[in-house]
Amino acid sequence: MAKKKFIGLQYPLTKTPRGTLAQKNGVDQIKADLLQLLLTNPGERVMIPDYGTPLRRLFFEPNDAVIKAEAKAMIAKSIAMWEPRIVVDAIEVVFKFDRSELNTEDTQDDVESILGIKIKIIDPDNISEVNELVLELPVGRGT
């Protein structure tokens, strides 16, 4: 059986020096598609109104254990529905960051307002390799 190749447009969209849209393949494309799924709010795609993850609903909620569980459930549901090719090893959601893990050029004044999402996925081309997609989501201050 032929090996499946995951090829698609790079996200965010960028042009090559020749003026065409840049492409990615393999696990890099899967990560790009997963990022697009997480950053798209349901209703933004006209022809696929259910596509996306409603993480923006959490922006002004207090950063606590409830929001952590809610975000994890939203992500798991979206991946199960829209990305059947992705094998998720783990979804970690944290609301207490160690300042050393964040961007050092940032003032880090709002470290209590960041919900960290780390999704560990298994590369379908190399099942022994686990890759990570990390996303920092702004939310309300912790309690």
**Cross-strand partners of 63:** 142
Tell me the fold of 7-138.
Answer: Nuclear Transport Factor 2; Chain: A, (3.10.450)
Q: At what angle do helices 26-39 and 65-82 cross, to 10 degrees?
A: 120
Residue 8 exposed, middle or buried by CB count within 10 Å (0-12, 13-18, 19+): middle
Q: What is the pLDDT along the chain (143 residues), one digit of tens a residue?
A: 445 566 677 767 788 888 888 877 777 788 888 888 999 999 999 999 999 999 888 887 777 788 888 999 999 999 999 988 788 888 988 876 666 666 667 666 666 677 788 888 887 667 777 788 877 777 765 55
What are the boundaries of each domain within the chain?
7-138
